C-alpha cells in the first residue's frame, strides 16, 4: 500500500514565488516536457516537473528543503521548450531565492535584499558605518595629501578602519552561512529519505566533506553549464566572474598577510605579480558581468527578476569602482581616486554583508547540494 501524505497548501508561499519571478507558475499543465528536455536532470525522480507540481500546490515543505532545486543550473532549455510558457527554470530560480531567505537569518534582511524599495537603505548602511566609525576613531582623514606622489588610499581611509569593519563582517557572513547550512543539510537529507532518493539513513559529515572535495573540479570547470544548449553562451561569462572572485580573494589574503605579517605597506608596484593578478581579475570581473547583463537583455523570453539585476549591478559596480580607483590613483587624480575608493568600499560591503541573503548565496548552497548528491548516491 502506498504511503499517504496530508497536503497542506500554503497560499502565501505561492504568492512569494510569484513575486520572486515565478509569475508564470500557474501556466504549467504538468506535461513533463521540462524534465524530458533537461540535459542535467537525473533519470529517476527527474526535475523540474515534480517541483512545478509542488510549487503550484504551495507545498513549501516539499520544495524549500529539496536538494533537487539546487541541482538545476537554470540552463533555460526547459523554459524554451515549455509548450505553455510556464518557464520552469525561472520558477525554480524563484524557489531557490525563497529558500535562501528561509535559511539565512535574520529573515528581514533577506526580504530587504529582494525588495527594490530597500536598495537606498542597503547602500546607505555602509556609508553611515564608515563615516561614523571613521569620525569616532579618527581614522578617516578628509584632507589627505593631494600631490601625485602623496596619493595613498590608506591616508584617506585608514587600513585599520577598513579591517575594523570588514574582518567582523567576514565573521558575520561565516556565522550566518554556518547556521543556515546546518539546517539546510538536515532538511535536504530528510527530503531525500522521504522521497526515496537515498538509502543512507544517517548523515556522515566526514563523508560529505570528502564528497565536497570531489565535486570542486566540476564546479571550477563549470561542467554543468557546458551541458546546456539554450544558455550555453552564459558559460564563458559565469566562468570569468567566478574565477575573478577567486583571484581577488587570493589577492586580498596575500596583501593582508603582507601588511600585518610582513609589515609591507602599499601602494604596491604594478610589477608585483600579485598586483597583476588583481588587475587581471578586476578586468575579468567587469567583462564577465557586462557579458552576463548583455545575455540577460538578449533573452527576452526569459524572466530576469530584481534579485538578478541587484546582484549583477553590485558585481559590475564592484569591478568598475575597483579599477577606476586604481586608474585615478595612477593618474594622480587624488580627489577623484579617494572618492572612488569610498564608493568601492560601499559596493564591497553590500556584496559581502548581504551575501548569505542574495542570489550569490547560490554558490554556497548549490555546492553543498551537489556534494550531498554525490555522497548520498542519489537514486
Residues 77-93 have pLDDT tens digits of: 888 889 999 999 899 99
Mean pLDDT (the chain, rounded):
87
What pLDDT sits at residue 159? 83
Grid-cell match 570547470, residue found = 221
- pLDDT at position 183 is 94
Q: How confident is the model at residue 301 (pLDDT cuts 50, 70, 90)?
A: low
Evaluate the CA torsion angle 62, 64, 66, 70 in order and state its sign: positive
Residue 146 pLDDT > 90: no
Residues 104 and 113 sit within 8 Å (Cβ to Cβ): no
Asked whether residue 129 carries a pLDDT value surpassing 50, the answer given is yes
Backbone angles phi, psi at 18, to 5 degrees: -60, -45
- The pLDDT of residue 2 is 55
* Tens-place pLDDT, residues 353-377: 999 999 889 989 999 999 999 999 8
pLDDT digits (tens, 9 = 90+) for 242-292: 889 999 999 888 888 887 777 777 667 777 888 899 999 999 999 999 999
**pLDDT tens figures, 154-192:** 788 888 888 889 999 999 999 999 999 999 999 999 999
Contact yes or no for 332/148 (Cβ under 8 A): yes
Give the CA dihedral 87, 89, 90, 96, nearest 10 degrees: 150
How high is the pLDDT of residue 1?
A: 42
Instruction: For residue range 335-347, list pLDDT tens digits in order.
Output: 898 899 999 999 9
**Confidence (pLDDT) at 325:** 92
Contact indicator for 26, 98 with CB cutoff of 8 Å: no
pLDDT over threshold 90, residue 137: no
Q: Which residue has the higher pLDDT, 281 or 61?
A: 281
Is the pLDDT assigned to residue 52 strictly greater than 70?
yes
Residue 185 makes CB contacts below 8 A (sequence gap 6+) with 203, 208, 368, 372
- Average pLDDT in the 318-333 region? 90
Q: What is the mean pLDDT of residues 59-67?
A: 90
Q: Are 58 and 14 in contact (CB under 8 A)?
A: yes
Residue 282 CB-half CA count within 13 A: 21
Write the CB contacts of 290 (distance below 8 Å, at least 6 apart in sequence): 316
pLDDT surpasses 60 at 316: yes
pLDDT at site 147: 54
In angstroms, the CA 379 to CA 376 distance is 9
Residue 140, beta-bridge partner list: 157
Ramachandran assignment for 59, one of left (phi > 0), alpha (psi -120 to 50 degrees), beta (any other): beta
Amino acid at each position: 500500500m502506498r504511503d499517504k501524505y496530508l497536503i497542506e497548501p500554503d497560499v502565501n508561499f505561492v504568492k512569494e514565488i510569484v513575486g520572486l519571478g515565478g509569475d508564470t507558475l500557474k501556466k504549467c499543465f504538468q506535461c513533463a516536457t521540462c524534465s524530458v528536455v533537461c540535459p542535467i536532470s537525473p533519470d529517476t525522480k527527474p526535475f523540474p516537473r515534480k517541483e512545478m507540481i509542488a510549487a503550484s500546490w504551495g507545498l513549501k515543505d516539499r520544495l524549500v528543503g529539496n536538494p533537487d532545486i539546487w541541482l538545476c543550473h537554470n540552463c533555460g532549455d526547459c523554459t524554451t521548450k515549455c509548450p505553455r510558457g510556464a518557464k520552469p527554470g525561472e520558477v525554480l530560480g524563484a524557489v531557490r531565492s525563497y529558500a535562501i531567505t528561509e535559511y539565512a537569518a535574520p529573515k528581514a534582511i533577506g526580504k530587504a535584499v529582494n525588495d527594490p524599495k530597500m536598495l537606498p537603505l542597503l547602500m546607505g548602511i555602509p556609508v553611515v558605518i564608515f563615516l561614523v566609525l571613521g569620525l569616532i576613531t579618527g581614522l578617516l582623514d578628509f584632507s589627505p595629501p593631494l600631490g601625485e606622489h602623496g596619493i595613498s588610499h590608506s591616508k584617506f581611509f585608514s587600513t585599520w578602519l577598513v579591517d575594523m569593519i570588514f574582518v567582523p563582517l567576514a565573521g558575520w557572513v561565516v556565522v550566518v552561512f554556518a547556521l543556515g547550512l546546518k539546517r539546510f543539510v538536515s532538511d535536504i537529507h530528510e527530503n531525500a529519505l522521504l522521497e526515496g532518493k537515498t538509502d543512507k539513513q544517517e548523515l556522515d559529515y566526514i563523508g560529505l566533506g570528502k564528497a565536497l572535495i570531489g565535486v570542486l573540479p566540476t564546479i571550477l570547470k563549470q561542467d554543468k553549464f557546458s551541458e546546456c544548449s539554450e544558455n550555453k553562451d552564459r558559460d564563458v561569462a559565469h566562468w570569468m566572474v567566478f574565477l575573478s572572485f577567486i583571484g581577488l580573494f587570493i589577492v586580498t589574503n596575500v596583501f593582508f598577510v603582507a601588511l600585518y605579517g610582513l609589515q609591507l605597506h602599499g601602494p604596491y608596484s604594478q610589477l608585483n605579480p600579485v598586483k597583476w593578478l588583481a588587475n587581471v581579475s578586476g578586468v575579468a570581473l567587469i567583462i564577465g558581468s557586462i557579458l552576463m547583463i548583455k545575455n540577460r537583455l538578449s533573452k527576452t523570453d526569459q524572466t530576469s527578476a530584481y534579485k538578478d539585476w541587484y546582484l549583477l549591478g553590485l558585481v559590475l559596480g564592484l569591478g568598475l569602482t575597483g579599477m577606476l580607483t586604481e586608474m585615478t590613483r595612477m593618474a594622480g587624480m587624488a580627489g577623484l581616486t579617494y572618492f572612488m575608493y569610498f564608493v568601492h568600499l560601499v559596493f564591497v560591503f553590500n556584496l559581502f554583508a548581504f551575501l548569505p541573503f542574495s542570489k550569490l548565496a547560490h554558490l554556497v548552497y548549490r555546492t553543498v547540494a551537489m556534494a550531498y548528491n554525490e555522497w548520498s548516491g542519489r537514486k
